[in-house]
Structure 1
């Protein structure tokens, strides 16, 4: 009986102990869970009150029971901290171009599309109404009607139809200089209205863009289609001088002429034009300059090009190749074009852009050449994109087709499209990208060359003006193109080169190589956007002037005829002119090479080299003099001995 009672008491005690042990385990689990929650909280939650801890413990019951038997995994995110990577503030970028048009505006605006996605605002100063169709999110300040070479025939007829040289270049330059004051006023109004933080200026004949940036003390970045005129290498020249782009194989006379004589003549011809333009600058409060590079020598330049297309040469850090700038997508083929391309296996695409035209004689030769290559089955189809500027002749009687039959698409082997405006552009990239397109007959504009390289199609280039001659030479050197002469077009020459471009195996190999290079470099437009962001941010962070943020950034104002045009009625502090000048001096100091600050003699180390030459000549002179003196001494000594001997005899 007693043993039974004792066993009952023992079992009750064991039960009580079991409950106590279980209770302790529960408490330990709650504490562990509470500790986890506390570790994950920030420092402000470490001072939780007793009540809040109790509520946390109560809330942790369910999580505790869920975690029983489950090994807790460490959250890998706890090992990292988030860093604010946003360096962007809403800022305004004003793009400027004298000529406008697709080839000059697309690189700038494609880069700006990236910046718009990053939160920036962009406006354009250019002729025509470009952005409404192509970039509707970009506001445009128009400088007048769209550039039309046919309406300016007194300028462009001799350029397109006669040999092109630097006198032809000056025809365009003089027309641009006549419009300087009008363009400057448009830039001034747009600057006051849009309040840009940075200018992105197309380089061609666009002095007004850089001058307005200088006047308002706003950073300006230049953009161009090449590095040719902005960087120097003695073996580089330009066909406008009557020289080759690459003087590597030139004779001494040719290299001397192209390095010294022709550039000197060009500078002499430019001198009076610079003086005349400086007078216009003074009339609008812009200081004169001695050369076109002086105003922008320490500015950043973006070149829509790449080495492989360009002749390799050293480039200063301020000059960045960011090309080829390509669009993310292109217009598709129309149903008629698609049908024509699919039904012909060897197609040549022909396009000379929207502004170029040639003589009636040249058009007749081209048409005869097309009929000849079709008749000989070298090419079985031609897509010809016309701009509406052409004046076509009637073919001679020995042909079997009238010109009107071809132009109205009544001939089954030639399909003609017309691009009268930006809204009616022929889908060039889609045509070139088609597998049945074999050759591209082009004027050699940069944009067309880049597109052809991107899809890997050989080019037959007929240059008319500007950089087209240089582009043709460079691509011919790369073994992916052949060029024609507008002053000496011949049917047999055209036919032979069309056939050669299709059959030469080296052309295909070279094209594959250039296509890879083009596609890799086409990604650098994001680099261009990054560089523009850098310039905008740095322009407002002058470490030597603590009042920049107050006077320039905090209350940005734009002067108009000596008055404020901002919301504030305060006048400019006297220190702002000094502050903004300092900004221009140090803005890109990380990329400005030291020689530009050292002066010509010290920067080129001519003083050091001069001393070395003097020492070298001194040593040579001393050696020669010593040798001469020694020889003279020996000769005189021998002569004296003979003379003494003769006297003694």
Structure 2
């Protein structure tokens, strides 16, 4: 009888998804890396028979059967110009590559570009029906209105692991004592002054973020959705489930509630053979090769001339071949050494998994750090903006990376760092240890993500996983009101005890004085 029950349950589950659910995805991410975990999940869901529509700012490189990508032109053009400047040069000069004001400005203008575009209007007014919306935990406030519009549950893929505001939307704690601010090189075990700074940063970001949403972003969105649109803060708190792009082995252990699942390396896969020309290059030296890439958002073709010259000088002194992701043709660098090859686009995971690779030189982007651990390659990082500092600090803490500060970078430091991570076995041993930990999971992160997505679909939003903590204010959540009451009680009690003691002593002294006086009179 028990076997019949499970057979019947399995048939029901298969029938439920036989036609496939309709899922709408959206990311406001300003770099192409935000798109990667969404594409991985989309392909996993499509393989299960679901239909996926994906709104983003990066036109697709190739079609994938079953995936519909919508790239509103206004949105695409705004994002394309957003990081099209010399981020490396700004960091080298000691400036913030992307200042806080620009982070807020991006949230406003990217949202306006998305909502004002005719393609977005067509999507929302075409009569389409969806069963679930999945938005990016980075800048979720704008696309979350899609779930409100279609009247369906929504989830997050929190693409930036160290961005914890979206995690708190679901009620999970992010105590400042062990949650480092993503834009600073802190770790989770902070000294006192670091905890003070971290608290100031995190509190300041929360206050500014809340004010920005309430007084700037929300009025913009009401221009498109009317005054009846709920408050953004109320909408984001209703998130059904969060797929957190992190894992305890490559980010930090975290006290998540049951409505959070970690999916770091959802996009990771074993390396495939390289194209013939690349294979011939990386296999052409007995010493091996190093791979240099500053990611999809930091354009090395825009780097300062002095930094480009420094890189070339260092690479020419290495006994290894150098494969360098560079957004220009090889003819654009007349002094390019013979051991260096450029590529506008390179298959990063296939390169990192190659048997001849010796080291990876990178900006410290989250996905690059996941991939270097997954494939077991020691790394030299040069953080530029956003979470690069936090990612690099964690990798250095785990022993498989050396972090260089661009503002203090010299050819000697870069040359030493590359040789150090290659020749000192502790870096490769550390990354191989992390690789074993990352891969030691009961299922692939993609399978986990697909399961929980279908779980939310099966249970119509899975609202039973919600914690009342998501409705609490900062004061309620951290018991500041309770501690204030208790402290007030202690102070009042202490004051009363002091007063009573004082009055008692005064009475006792007065009585003693009177007694002494009366005795003196009697004696006289």
Deviates more, 1:614-623 or 1:162-171: 614-623
Tell me the residue number matched to 2:282: 341
- The CA distance in 2 between the partners of 1:150 and 1:157, in whole Å, is 12
Q: Structure 2 residue aligned with 1:200, among 134, 139, 143?
A: 134
2:67 corresponds, among 138, 154, 157, to 138
1:244–1:263 Cα change, 3 Å: farther
Q: Do structure 1's residue 273 and structure 2's residue 199 form an aligned pair?
A: no
The answer on whether the counterparts of 2:132 and 2:153 sit within 8 Å (CA) in structure 1 is yes
1:633 deviates by: 5.0
1:603-647 per-residue CA deviation (whole Å, 9 max, x = no partner) reads 655555455444434443454445445544555555556556666
Give the total of aligned pairs: 494
What is the distance in 2 between the residues matched to 1:496 and 1:250? 32
- Between Structure 1 and Structure 2, whose CA radius of gyration is higher? 1
The superposition leaves residues 387-436 of structure 1 with CA deviations (integer Å, 9 ceiling, x where unpaired) of 339996xxxxxxxxxx4252xxxx442222222xxxxxx12112212232
Matches within 5 A, 1:425-444: 426-444=346-364
Task: Indicate if the aligned counterparts of 1:96 and 1:124 stay in contact, CA closer than 8 A.
Answer: yes
Segments of 5+ residues of structure 2 without an aligned counterpart are: 169-173
Is the CA contact (8 Å cut-off) linking 1:298 and 1:588 kept in structure 2? no
Who is 1:422 aligned against? none
**Which of 337, 346, 364 pairs up with 2:309?**
364
Residues 323 and 525 of structure 1 are in contact (CA less than 8 Å); yes or no, is this contact kept in structure 2?
Answer: no
Which of these residues, 36, 39, 48, is aligned with residue 118 of structure 1?
48
The root-mean-square deviation of aligned C-alpha atoms, in Å, is: 3.6
Secondary structure class of the residue paired with 1:157: coil
Encode CA deviations 1:200-252: one digit per residue, 9 max, x unaligned: 22234454532122112022212122243323322334354x67464722417
Residue deviations 1:368-400, cap 9 Å, x none? Answer: 22234x1xxxx52211122339996xxxxxxxx
Aligned to 1:382: 322
Secondary structure of residue in 2 paired with 1:469: helix
**Secondary structure at the residue paired with 2:7?**
coil
| Aligned equivalent of 1:107 | 37
1:336 CA displacement: 2.7
After superposition, the Cα gap between the structure-2 partners of 1:502 and 1:625, relative to the gap in structure 1 and judged at 3 Å, is farther
Partner SS state of residue 111, structure 1: helix
Match of 2:114 in 1: 180
Question: How far does the alpha carbon of each residue in 1:456-495 deviate from its partner, in whole angstroms, 9 at most, with x for none?
Answer: 1122112223222322222223222222233343212212
Q: CA deviation at 1:516?
A: 1.9
Conserved 8 A contact 1:224-1:301: yes
Taking structure 1 as reference, are residues 526 and 255 closer, same or farther at Cα in structure 2, changes over 3 Å only? closer
**Distance (whole Å) between structure 1 residues aligned to residue 352 and residue 214 of structure 2:** 44
1:313 aligns with 2:247: no
The answer to whether the 8 Å contact 2:383/2:406 transfers is yes
1:501 pairs, out of 413, 421, 426, with 421
2:291–2:359 CA contact under 8 A, matched in 1: yes
1:83 is aligned to 7
**CA shift for structure 1 position 179:** 0.1
Residue correspondence of structure 1 range 55-74 to structure 2 within 5 A: none
- State the distance in 2 between where 1:304 and 1:83 align: 34
Aligned pair partner of 1:352 in 269, 286, 294 = 294
Matched residues in 1 for 2:487 and 2:415: separation? 57
Cα shift at 1:124: 2.2
Scaled by the length of structure 1, the TM-score of the pair is 0.67
> What is the Cα deviation at residue 330 of structure 1?
4.8
Tell me whether 1:460 sits opposite 2:403 in the alignment: no
Tell me: CA distance 1:391–1:318, structure 2 relative to 1, closer, same or farther (3 Å): farther
Structure with more relative contact order (C-alpha pairs < 8 Å, separation 6 or more)? 2
SS in 2 for 1:439: strand
Provide the C-alpha distance between the structure 2 equivalents of 1:519 and 1:472, rounded to a whole number of angstroms.
20
- Describe the superposition over 1:260-293 as per-residue Cα deviations: whole angstroms up to 9, x where unpaired: 445445555665532542343345x76153x5x4
Alpha carbons 2:24, 2:132 under 8 Å: kept: yes
1:117-143 CA distance string (max 9 Å, x none):
32222222234442734x233122332
Taking the TM superposition and a 5 Å limit, the aligned residue runs for 1:163-562 are: 163-164=95-96, 165-183=99-117, 185-186=119-120, 188-189=122-123, 192=126, 194-205=128-139, 207-225=141-159, 226=161, 227-230=163-166, 231=168, 232-235=174-177, 236-238=179-181, 240=183, 244=186, 246=188, 248-251=190-193, 254-255=197-198, 257-261=200-204, 263-265=206-208, 267-268=210-211, 272-282=215-225, 287=229, 289=231, 291=232, 293-299=233-239, 300-328=241-269, 330-342=271-283, 343-357=285-299, 358-372=303-317, 374=318, 379-388=319-328, 403-406=333-336, 411-419=337-345, 426-521=346-441, 523-539=444-460
Contact 1:385 1:416 in 2 (8 A): yes
Give the whole-Å Cα distance in 1 for the aligned partners of 2:79 and 2:328: 10
- 1:438 counterpart SS class: strand
Unpaired stretches in structure 1, ≥5 consecutive residues = 1-77, 393-402, 420-425, 540-586
TM-score w.r.t. structure 2 length? 0.81
Partners of 1:480 and 1:499 in 2: how far apart?
Answer: 13
Tell me, in whole angstroms, the C-alpha distance in 1 between the residues paired with 2:330 and 2:306: 12
User: Aligned to 1:302, what secondary structure does the other structure show?
Assistant: strand
Question: What secondary structure, in the 3-state scheme, does the structure 2 residue paired with 1:463 have?
Answer: coil
